[in-house]
Structure formats: structure tokens, C-alpha cells
Chains A and B, each alone.
Chain A
């Protein structure tokens, strides 16, 4: 589903954010990316989302070669990916409902169909009662959950999340992970950047460890006893 083959990303100022990264995440797999801040977690997610282009190496996500992708292909590619951003990226002049409905509107869903899906997504993150609120009226954790609802509403084939539990207490974090695991169980490929060591330990998923732009370790989940 996502395949990095010796991918490097150098910025114009010569800084190398990622160097020679190779790994593959398949359908229905749930993988964490961990590492200190500045290790390249966000850059890695940006590459998959085609916000940045790789400097060298080959990157294929969802069957699309991201080395050669046109502007219109980028828009189409992003529709297949649900993304939870660290800074939420919500529209502040639209209600929670409209924010979550945005990916459906872009794909041209029937309003009735969209309403059903939006409510289901909001229900999953426990924000059904807040659908008429505006993002500014919500707490950081609630905004984060709106972002999560928007990421999953379109039933994407890939879910990317950058510190999705950064603003959430342990109880809510567990809830969100449960939502993610539901998607994993229906074949969605999840890639979650996090440095919540306790959470990663508890979930026992595959973990990619980044350090200074290099892939330090690719830890497989411990065999269950």
C-alpha cells in the first residue's frame, strides 16, 4: 500500500530531512512512526500526501508513483487518504458538521448519504452533540477529534496521522486508537506518527523508529502469548 524504496528528501538549503528510507506497509497494517522531534516523521507523512516530492528514491502509495504526479493527480490521490494533522487544519468559519463533510462534498456525495456518514464519523469520536459548534468554541482535544472524524469520513484506503493523540487524555487516546483499529480490521493501512511511548508499547503494533532522517529500526509486533 505504501512503499518507500531508498527515498531521500533534501531541502534547498542542503538539509537532509530523510535519507535512504526503505520500508513497506501493506493493506490492513497498523504502523507507528516514532522518533524525536526533527527526526523526519512529519516529512515522511508529507511525502506520502504529495505535499513534498522525494529528492531521490522511489515512493509508491496506493498504487500511485509519487515521483511523477501531476497537480490533478495529487488532488485525486489525497481523496484516497485520510489525514489527521498535528495542527488540525480545520476551517474556522464552518461548523463541525461542515468541516467533517468537506471531503464528501469534494467527492460529490449526495447530501443525505453525506449526512449519514458525517454523523457516523462524529459518533465514533464522541462529538455528535457538537456538530453545530464552530471549531474555535472547542477545546484542543475536541478539535483534534474533529480532524480525526474528517480523516475517516470518506472511508479512505490509507489513514495518516501526525501526533493524533497529542492533545488527548489517555482515555480519549484509547478511544481514538480503537477507531483506528476498526479501520485496520477492514483493510485500511494506517501510519501514525507519535512519540507517546506508553501508547505504542500498549498497542503492540509495528513501529518504525526514525533518527536524524534515517530509519533506525523496524520493530515487528511482539508475538501474542
Chain B
């Protein structure tokens, strides 16, 4: 029997065929509509119990805030360090017997080296003048019979990386006129090491926080599934897959992560504003206009997206595990 004949005989036939196709493949728009409805359902369920939802949201937000703040402060520290890096200086304190003329000579010969950007000689008397002006101990210093300060050469290395500066210092220590080599950037190196430590702590904390979030969100989802056991049983009985039954809970996890992430960026802004007003006073004393910077849009987006992803993944793990255990 040809298709045309059949259609003539039964006008309902083409429609019936279209329906079977609908059973097998969900259209994209249809899917989006369904998901929107499920997401709305999950959101309204969260609003039904505002107190407990808010508590979970805050727990997620605070958990995200801790590593975020640590990374944020560290990135500020790093940018502060970068500003100081250019001013790395090496001071050569000369032997007592080296005369001013000899000192000048050594200083000029150092200028010919390619690994030295700049060098100038500071005579013992110049040094005394500067020291007494800076320290406010003029009276005391005038009492002294001889100048206790040695002559010095202050130089700026061409390459300011810690390794290059160390190598330069080692070479200069070999010069017969040099008594002590002092690398001014040593404290910078220490600060850089501390900064590295802080970021390492931040990474460990981030891992702990992710595990914690999995636990918190997973547990919340577990309770939600427990409360809706009867509904899941019915869905499974009429042929809904585990994934179908899990969808509303995935949206719940996603919303917790998303909301927690947004809350975390807001809290972080609050913390930075509080810090900045205190920091301003300190920085004025140092005549610096340094300010803690927020994460900016990209970092804030990263927190929100990370929160949402963790929430969703935690919900996926928890819901599939607990839904699978429900046998109608």
C-alpha cells in the first residue's frame, strides 16, 4: 500500500507520524522551555524556605570569599612588588684604606660593565652629612672625633632579577677595595617569597573550600531529595530517567553556587572598602597613593562562574547517587 493511498484513507496518519518523531527527539526550543520551567520551579522552591536557603547561600558565599580574598590580596602584593622591582640597588661599602680618588676610580670603572646600569660614589663625609640629616642625630655626630662611615658605591644593576643581582653581588665582593656588598633588594626577595607562600596557601585553601562546598551543597541536595522521595518514585514509575528526576536538583545546586558567588563578590567589595580606608592612613605616612584594587569584572565573573560550576557539579554527584538509590 502506497503512502498516498494510506493518507487518503486516514487523514490522521501524517500527524501521528509527526508525534512519534516528537517522542524521540526533543526540539531545541522545546528543551529550553522545559529547562526554564524546571529552573523556575527550583528557584521558587528555594524561596519557599527562605531562611534555610539563605543560610546555605551564606555558607557558600563565605567559603568562596576566603580563597578569593587571599588571592586578591596576594595579587595586590604582587603588583606592589613589581613597582619596587625597578629600584633594586646594590651598595658596595669600601675598605677603610680606600681614598676618595680611588673610590671615584672604582666607581667609574664599574660603569663600563654591561651588567651595571648606573653607579655613583658616596664619600665618607657625604655619607655622614646625609646620615645626620636623615637621622636627626647631628649633635651627637658632631661630638665624634673621626667619621665612622666608610666610602660607598651605590649601583643599579641592569638585570634586576634576584638571581642576576645575587651573581653581580658575588662578583663585586671579589674586588679588593670592597669590604661589604649589601643588596637592598633582599627584603623585596623576602616579600616575594612570602607572596609565593600566600598564593600556595591560597591554592590549598581553594581545594579545601571546593571539597567543603561539595559537602555543603551535596548535603543540602540530599535533604531536598529525601523530602521529595515520593515524587521521584512516581517519576521513575512513569519512565523518567534518573537524569530527568535529577534536573530540578541540578538547578538548585546551580542557583546556590551562582547566588553564593554573587554574594561573595559583594562581600569582597565590602571587605576591600573597609581595608582601603584604613590603608589610606598608613599609605599617607609612606607618601604612597597605593590602594587595594578589587578583582575587577573578570575576576568577579570568575568567582561567580566557579561558584555556579561547583554548585552544579556537587548537585550532579549528590542527586545521581541518591536518586539511583530510590527504587519504586
Contact = CB atoms under 8 A, between A and B. Distances in A.
B238 A109 contact: no
Interface in B230-264: 230-231, 233-242, 244
A27 interface: no
A194 B120 CA distance: 108
A105 B237 contact: no
A108 interface: yes
Contact of A75 (B26, B31, B236): B236
B231 A79 contact: no
Contact of A109 (B23, B231, B233, B241): B23
Given A110-B22, A110-B27, A113-B19, A102 B238 contact: yes
Interface in A58-92: 71-72, 75-81, 83, 85, 89-92
Contact of A113 (B22, B31, B238, B328): B22
Contacts of A145: none
Given A91-B231, A110-B30, A83 B238 contact: yes
Contacts of B238: 78-79, 83, 102-103, 106, 150
A15 B240 CA distance: 31
Contacts of B240: 75, 102, 106
Most buried by B among A76, A92, A93, A108: A108
B40 to A, nearest CB: 13
A102 B327 CA distance: 19
A89 B234 contact: yes
B215 to A, nearest CB: 26
B239 A106 contact: yes
Give the contact-size bracket for chain B: 20 to 34
Contacts of A77: 239
B interface secondary structure, majority: helix
B146 interface: no
B25 interface: yes
A118 interface: no
Contacts of A107: 22-23, 239
Contacts of A75: 236, 239-242, 244
Contact of A89 (B26, B233, B242): B233
B328 A51 contact: yes
Nearest to B233: A89
Interface string B214-242: 00000000000000001101111111111
B301 interface: no
Nearest to A78: B239
Interface in B15-32: 19, 22-23, 25-27, 30-31
B324 interface: yes
Given A108-B25, A109-B23, A78 B30 contact: no
A49 interface: yes
Contacts of B34: 105, 108
B170 interface: no
B33 interface: yes
A85 B22 CA distance: 27
A49 B235 contact: no
Contacts of B241: 72, 75, 106
Most buried by B among A76, A85, A102: A102
A111 interface: yes
A108 B231 contact: no
Contacts of B237: 49, 51, 78, 83, 85, 89
Nearest to B240: A106
A113 B26 CA distance: 13
A77 B231 CA distance: 19
Contacts of A76: 239
B38 to A, nearest CB: 10
A51 B327 contact: yes
B14 to A, nearest CB: 14
A91 B230 CA distance: 8
B235 A109 contact: no
Interface string A145-158: 00000100000000
Given A89-B233, A89-B234, A71 B324 contact: yes
Contacts of A93: 231
Contacts of B324: 71
Given A85-B237, A113-B22, 4 more contacts: A51-B328, A83-B238, A89-B237, A103-B238
11 contacts: A76-B239, A85-B237, A91-B230, A91-B231, A102-B238, A103-B238, A108-B25, A108-B30, A108-B31, A109-B19, A150-B238
